[in-house]
A and B are shown apart, each in its own frame.
Chain A
């Protein structure tokens, strides 16, 4: 955009390529993917289990607990809330400690960049 100052495009994309191939960046990528991929699989399977039980294990889900009107289905549903809040909190803690410091360091190393080489967003 109008506020961008022109820069030699080649040097900038070389810079990004070099960063992407650096060990430090590989570590950042590993730290991020190592958390978010397994966690996504985990919560998706946990949710799928809940939906499948709701569809196919009606008797089990209807079992009443503690001699009250609270049944397994309700507790299972509430546990989905608990797990969602828990995963969100775990991720935020993990990102604060393991991702943000590395990302900030790499960004500082790259320094000022212009958008001439980016999309005309």
Chain B
């Protein structure tokens, strides 16, 4: 097996650098121009609140399935998982399996019932038979917290990637910007674009951006997979063997345990914690998806529960296929780029996929120019990926702020549709601006854990509240409020006292130490705790509205009176 060594890569990079950079920027500008045109078109179709929040409920199951894929497959799943597979092999696959299996929770328990009984936000279902103000306040707090965590991880990630993807090396500049300035500029640009997509295009514009992105991402991943497999005669075993050989890890690359649940020789306690951490991560990944507000609001964009079911089926097909492709991309990068060359560029492996693109271009499309071209395409796809996800997150949090907090808590439902949409647009601007500022502040901190934390909060607070609401007759206001705050606070506090925030070299604050909770992932404790809080909060309160429960259950199961 021929391996492209670090030195070769560097030479190719020097020569192709300029071409690749110009091409990346051109392609990215084309994407921005096309999506902005779509956004402006969408804004002309956006007249009512239903248009703004739910895209007029006019999307087909397939369109929404693509958009769900575009909303869900973040840079963390594309660059992150490909990188983890390239460096740690099998354990990256474990991550993607959790992300996929999670969709069964959404399909079987949540999507259709939520579509039938809600209107614009997660809180519409949670507050259906409860007192509006406490439940909507809790839901808005949770929605905005989860979305901002997720946003920060994506935006800081975008800033970290730009220097690598555009090849801005220390000591060199691009348009007069050094790597540090380019980072801040990228965060601001990503933030500004997501604000424009959401305020101008609403759900319609955001959905089309996500559909275009899903198409680009799938095409790019498919092309690279075919090339990788062609290189190894479409023989999976040959690819795996080459990956193991070039990774520097040997056969261990193909087995679990390099990254998660690491066995520390002679330290049984740490080994135990590491394995608990793996289980904890696994549970949060599977249960988190169906509690992510930016995913839940996508079910409102189709006309019926049946269409919501179809969109989840499409999403499972698209997302499942994508994660199978990342398996080939990750092992392909290990085989063709090699572990050493990947860590030389980025210790976390986030550049494994772009580096693989360059190596494949070199091999299949006529040398340096081909390498530069494929690298540019994949880098542009990575930016498109980030943009589509952050737009979805901004929309979810601004919808909740306007619809739940402003219209139903502050104004107690006494506001016009026009005014509510105006507030939603302003909210998107405010949340976008806050995210930009927080991201600039956090740009040099290790915030990659925030995605896993967002999943843990969604699984610990939102999911218990949603499931109890839909399936438990006795559930009430106090139960919903306890579940959301209990799950949210326990997940956030445990992580705050965990090694991801302080007390370790890889922490967010490596120079401080207030760590006492040994696991990086809180789910194994906070998820049961959230469910327990929901149960306890319910039984300590006598409140119960049998009529409203009958209405919710009948509407959820039959679609009667659905918006």
User: Is B118 a contact of A121 with CB atoms below 8 Å?
Assistant: yes
For A40, what are the chain B residues with a Cβ–Cβ distance below 8 Å?
A: 104-105, 108-109
Given A55-B261, A103-B557, A110-B560: A70 in contact with B100 (beta carbons within 8 A): no
Count of A-B residue pairs with CB < 8 Å: 179
Interface flags for B252-269 (1: CB within 8 Å of A; 0: not) read 001111001101000000
Q: What residues of B have a CB within 8 angstroms of the CB of A81 in the complex? A: 97, 100, 320, 323-324
CB-CB contacts below 8 Å: B265-314 with A? 275, 278-279, 282-283, 286, 305-306, 309-310, 312-313
B240 and A69 contact, CB distance less than 8 A: yes
Scoring A residues 1 to 45 as 1 if CB is less than 8 Å from chain B, else 0, what string do you get? 110000000000100110111000100110011011001100110
Which residues of chain B (102-135) have a CB below 8 Å from chain A?
A: 103-105, 107-109, 118-120, 124, 127-128, 132
Question: Chain A interface secondary structure, helix, strand, loop or mixed?
Answer: helix
Does chain A have a CB within 8 A of B75? Answer: no
Secondary structure of the B contact surface, majority rule: helix
Across the A-B interface, give the 7 residue pairs with the lowest CB-CB distance, nearest first: A121-B119, A68-B237, A69-B240, A120-B413, A20-B550, A51-B282, A54-B256
B513 proximal to A (CB < 8 A): no
Q: B interface vs A, CB < 8 Å?
A: 90, 93-94, 97-98, 100-101, 103-105, 107-109, 118-120, 124, 127-128, 132, 236-238, 240-241, 244, 251, 254-257, 260-261, 263, 275, 278-279, 282-283, 286, 305-306, 309-310, 312-313, 316-317, 320, 323-324, 407-408, 413, 417, 471, 546-551, 553-555, 557-561, 563
User: In the bound complex, how far is the Cα of B237 from the Cα of A13, in angstroms?
Assistant: 62
Asked if B256 and A95 make an inter-chain contact with CB atoms under 8 angstroms apart, the answer reads no
Interface positions, chain A 69-96, Cβ under 8 Å from B, are 69-71, 73-74, 77, 80-81, 84-85, 87-89, 91-92, 95
B100 and A118 contacting across the interface, CB-CB below 8 Å: no
Contacting pair B101 A43 (CB below 8 A): yes
Q: Which residues of B contact A85 (CB under 8 A)?
A: 316-317, 320
Residue of B nearest to A62 (CB): B255
**B278 — nearest CB in chain A belongs to which residue?**
A55
Tell whether, in the assembled complex, residue B251 and residue A115 are in contact, meaning their CB atoms are under 8 Å apart: no
Name the distance in Å between B487's Cβ and chain A's nearest Cβ. 18
Pair A51/B320 contact, Cβ less than 8 Å: no
- What is the distance, in angstroms, from A108's C-beta to the closest C-beta of chain B? 9
28 A-B residue pairings within 8 Å (CB atoms): A2-B417, A13-B550, A13-B551, A16-B551, A19-B558, A20-B549, A20-B550, A28-B557, A39-B104, A40-B108, A43-B101, A47-B98, A51-B94, A54-B257, A54-B261, A55-B275, A58-B263, A70-B236, A71-B254, A84-B100, A85-B320, A88-B103, A88-B104, A92-B313, A104-B558, A115-B561, A118-B551, A120-B413
Within 8 A of B (CB), among A101-121: 103-104, 106-107, 110, 113-115, 117-121
| Sample of 9 further A-B pairs with CB below 8 A, known A69-B251, A77-B94 | A16-B554, A20-B553, A40-B109, A43-B104, A51-B94, A69-B238, A84-B101, A100-B306, A118-B128
Complex contact A17–B320 (CB within 8 A)? no
Q: How far is the CA of A73 from the CA of B256 in the complex (A)?
A: 7
- In Å, the complex CA distance between A69 and B120 comes to 49
Considering residues B236, B317, B551, which has the most beta carbons from chain A within 10 angstroms of its beta carbon?
B551
Smallest beta-carbon distance A4→chain B, Å: 10
**In the complex the two chains form, what is the Cα distance from A51 to B94 in whole Å?**
8
Q: Contacts A44-B286, A117-B551 hold; do A36 and B558 have CB atoms under 8 A apart?
A: no
B254 touches A73 (CB 8 A): yes
